[in-house]
A and B are shown apart, each in its own frame.
Chain A
């Protein structure tokens, strides 16, 4: 006779334990499950996307009724156990069903905490816990109606977001002034709040609920300070309480939760407990990741293998609101003996903070860019010493790997790195499933491993693993919107500009339903670039959408003065030019004159109103703007080459000058730098430039996609050519391909890593006709670009208002 195992609580922790048990000891027990909810077992955390209309109930079922039948598990769905008789070893339900057990597993989860205020029992006041709650909310949700969500934690915000998707007006009430304070620091919480407010969510922070108003149903909420807010629905999301009633009644030791030891046993050795209802080493968890670990250990002991101990979990959190990337883990607020490493890039809406003690990560908060969440979490749990890469740790894991294709980052993570926090799936498990079961699609991987099958925030990582493992990409990850002003990605916008012949910002805003009247500092410069690069001579260059440096053709300095860098073709200069520069420096009392890293001279500290006169003087000596300020061609560095150098194989200086004369003035997605070295000793550092030429005896080697900067990347060899004329053609074609296809602010290095060197070769080297067409388009657009912006402005004709005050008053 098989022993009898009874599970009370048909939820996530209990059923995971049963699944783990069936995997290791399928025939050991005769299993019976009692569930108060009239359903199979479903993924509770996905109730938020269900509420938001992004998933259906059917899609979030983990084990439907068929599964129980197939696995010989007897399920009493919709039956609540009301009594445990430990001496008789029986459980009894409300309708009198009695079941005997040899072992009992408690997994009763928790209940939403309902504030003890008057009116809390009125119809329309609910928690957010199960399918029934979601159905109640969906029934009440009607456009224009008002919902008040009490509690600004994860659950409350997801509830409010979901209700808003149905057109309800939502006010989130929070006692403190930091949203999700158990997961976020004030800065990240501020960013979160701002983007939720932008979507229309309202907040009442520091508000204490006094009463729920209404006679036969809810109609409003009153606060301690007397303020009243109307409400057709009130969602209580102020916290959860472990559901321990049944255990208490049966005399099983409980404190805040049912007390268990490291083998998930309660004080009664026949009775085990897992999930949110338990208290382990003083802690009650409210997230799923710990439950997976508990389930594994518990199953192991139920199978009487007797190995494995549960020792507590460090948890991490993500918010399941589509379009908001947020991650937090560990001790993210730090303490006196911790240091913080912070990266903040408001233009991209990115904030990352690591809390570090003795070079070990203690906690992390990330907003806007969470790709590296899994990596930081792994470093945290493993207590890795980060001193070797501390300076760059915030730039992410991709930064650590040798320059390589996207995806190499996740592939260089160790096999036991956790990829899917929701389901506790490690990288090794995913790779193994893909290779052994020959999986090809994301859905296959989800079905076989459960990775990315829950909240979905690890989908990108799983796709990368899939792509790298099978060598093909199942489905490319959804592209991000350009910025908060639009839902569209860079690529979509660009295609629309080309295919729908859009030639002005206004046309883009109107055609593509921009959400703001005139964009922002992030999208406008990008759009302006796409317009003028796609329709040269036709689209109007919008100065007001250019960053100040490009608008006034000089680099702004920290004190508000400017720096001026005239072009020195290929790094060559003359005594006359040097004299003119010296004269300008004297005449306008320019404090600093410096040789730049780009082989030319920088005049630093020029007052803005002097700029036109400085330029006029430099123009008079034959010099033009060096575009040191632009997303444009910067410098062409050269070495002395065959004219003087004893190793020089070709005229590198001359070729550099020719390339610069051909390409100067062109606008590019990001800055574009070139260099020509006269021999492989490479004194001009051509192999870390966007386009580099290395002269050899038999001709010219072309190198592309390099840069110095924060993350250095050496170039890839594109091809070898015989003549200077060919070099010019390939150079122009390469620049044009980059101009037409890269995203704004994407330098050639990340662009090539994204599209692949072979793609670039196929366009530039293998397709002669295509290359010639690209080159022709490049030269055509140069007609409109090669106008010295300094000369235009020095004459006083263009943008004079930039350089003169409007008035002076005292």
Chain B
């Protein structure tokens, strides 16, 4: 089990927006929905690697800026008819701070 990293305050991420966290596993997009739910996905669209952090967030979904695939923030899965999944990272908010966990690449498939 890896550690929870404090990556900043919830207020550092705009509502319906996203910020990037740089990591050894590549950029991770951390999203904040209108209801303050927070999600983290690898910043790479399953289609052609588009930066999801740059997309438009609506509900608990994000639309990729490159070719408009729509992904579920909760799971990283693309909605039909597109098929694919962005890697998901455990993230939570505690006392206004956002905590993120890296996943080891080998067990990421089970997340």
Task: Tell me the A residues contacting B by CB distance below 8 Å.
Answer: 186-187, 190-191, 193-194, 345-347, 351, 516-521, 524-525, 543-545, 547-549, 551-552, 556, 558-560, 801, 805-810
Interface centre among B30, B58, B102 (most CB of A within 10 A): B58
Given the complex, which residues of B lie within 8 Å of A559, measured CB to CB? 49
Bound-complex Cα distance A520 to B61 (A): 9
* A805 in contact with B22 (CB, 8 Å): yes
Cβ distance A416 to chain B, nearest Cβ, rounded Å: 36
Bound-complex Cα distance A559 to B68 (A): 15
Cβ distance B79 to chain A, nearest Cβ, rounded Å: 7
* B81 in contact with A519 (CB, 8 Å): no
A-B contact pairs, 26 of them (CB 8 A): A186-B81, A190-B81, A191-B81, A346-B70, A517-B59, A518-B59, A520-B59, A521-B58, A543-B14, A544-B14, A544-B16, A544-B17, A545-B56, A547-B65, A548-B55, A548-B65, A549-B65, A551-B54, A556-B65, A559-B49, A805-B22, A806-B12, A807-B7, A809-B7, A809-B102, A810-B24
Other contacts beyond A544-B17, A560-B49, A560-B50: 13, CB < 8 A: A346-B69, A516-B59, A520-B56, A521-B68, A521-B70, A556-B66, A560-B51, A801-B14, A805-B19, A806-B8, A807-B7, A809-B22, A809-B102
Cβ distance A64 to chain B, nearest Cβ, rounded Å: 45
Given the complex, which residues of A lie within 8 Å of B8, measured CB to CB? 806-807
Bound-complex Cα distance A10 to B30 (A): 65
Task: Tell me the B residues contacting A by CB distance below 8 Å.
Answer: 5, 7-8, 12-17, 19-24, 27, 30, 34-35, 48-51, 54-59, 61, 63, 65-70, 79-82, 100, 102
Cβ distance A650 to chain B, nearest Cβ, rounded Å: 42
Bound-complex Cα distance A766 to B6 (A): 65
Question: Which of B19, B55, B58, B100 meets A516, CB within 8 Å?
Answer: B58
* B34 in contact with A517 (CB, 8 Å): yes
Bound-complex Cα distance A346 to B66 (A): 12
* A808 in contact with B49 (CB, 8 Å): no
* B22 in contact with A807 (CB, 8 Å): yes
* B68 in contact with A544 (CB, 8 Å): no
Given the complex, which residues of A lie within 8 Å of B13, measured CB to CB? 801, 806
Cβ distance B84 to chain A, nearest Cβ, rounded Å: 13
Bound-complex Cα distance A345 to B102 (A): 35
Cβ distance A187 to chain B, nearest Cβ, rounded Å: 5
Cβ distance B83 to chain A, nearest Cβ, rounded Å: 9
Question: Which of B19, B67, B70 meets A806, CB within 8 Å?
Answer: B19
Given known contacts A346-B68, A518-B34, is B48 in contact with A558 (CB within 8 Å)?
Answer: yes
Given known contacts A801-B12, A808-B23, is B49 in contact with A524 (CB within 8 Å)?
Answer: no
* A521 in contact with B21 (CB, 8 Å): no
* A807 in contact with B58 (CB, 8 Å): no
* B54 in contact with A548 (CB, 8 Å): yes
* A519 in contact with B19 (CB, 8 Å): no
Which 5 A-B residue pairs are closest in the complex by CB-CB distance? A190-B81, A521-B63, A806-B19, A807-B7, A808-B22
Bound-complex Cα distance A158 to B83 (A): 27
Bound-complex Cα distance A17 to B50 (A): 59
Bound-complex Cα distance A559 to B48 (A): 9
* B68 in contact with A347 (CB, 8 Å): yes
| Nearest residue, chain A, Cβ from B57 | A544
Cβ distance B94 to chain A, nearest Cβ, rounded Å: 15
| Nearest residue, chain B, Cβ from A556 | B65
* B59 in contact with A809 (CB, 8 Å): no
Given the complex, which residues of B lie within 8 Å of A191, measured CB to CB? 80-81
* B20 in contact with A805 (CB, 8 Å): yes
Cβ distance B39 to chain A, nearest Cβ, rounded Å: 14
Given the complex, which residues of B lie within 8 Å of A345, measured CB to CB? 68
Given the complex, which residues of B lie within 8 Å of A187, measured CB to CB? 81
Cβ distance B34 to chain A, nearest Cβ, rounded Å: 5
Given the complex, which residues of A lie within 8 Å of B49, measured CB to CB? 559-560
Interface centre among A516, A518, A545 (most CB of B within 10 A): A518
Given the complex, which residues of B lie within 8 Å of A549, measured CB to CB? 65
Bound-complex Cα distance A435 to B30 (A): 64
* B23 in contact with A521 (CB, 8 Å): no
Given the complex, which residues of B lie within 8 Å of A809, measured CB to CB? 5, 7, 21-24, 100, 102
Bound-complex Cα distance A517 to B66 (A): 24
Interface centre among B14, B59, B81, B102 (most CB of A within 10 A): B81
Bound-complex Cα distance A516 to B13 (A): 22
| Nearest residue, chain A, Cβ from B60 | A517
Interface centre among A351, A543, A544, A551 (most CB of B within 10 A): A544
| Nearest residue, chain A, Cβ from B83 | A190
Bound-complex Cα distance A518 to B15 (A): 11
* B21 in contact with A805 (CB, 8 Å): yes
* A521 in contact with B80 (CB, 8 Å): no
Given known contacts A347-B68, A524-B56, A544-B56, is B5 in contact with A807 (CB within 8 Å)?
Answer: yes
Bound-complex Cα distance A186 to B68 (A): 20
Bound-complex Cα distance A560 to B44 (A): 10
| Nearest residue, chain B, Cβ from A189 | B81
Given the complex, which residues of A lie within 8 Å of B63, measured CB to CB? 347, 520-521
Bound-complex Cα distance A351 to B82 (A): 12
Interface centre among A190, A544, A805, A807 (most CB of B within 10 A): A807
Given known contacts A346-B70, A544-B14, A544-B56, is B81 in contact with A194 (CB within 8 Å)?
Answer: yes
Given known contacts A518-B59, A521-B63, A521-B68, is B79 in contact with A194 (CB within 8 Å)?
Answer: yes
Given the complex, which residues of B lie within 8 Å of A805, measured CB to CB? 19-22, 27
Given the complex, which residues of A lie within 8 Å of B81, measured CB to CB? 186-187, 190-191, 194, 351
* B15 in contact with A544 (CB, 8 Å): yes
Interface centre among A191, A193, A808 (most CB of B within 10 A): A808
* A807 in contact with B21 (CB, 8 Å): yes
Interface centre among A186, A346, A556 (most CB of B within 10 A): A346
Cβ distance A76 to chain B, nearest Cβ, rounded Å: 51
Cβ distance A197 to chain B, nearest Cβ, rounded Å: 9
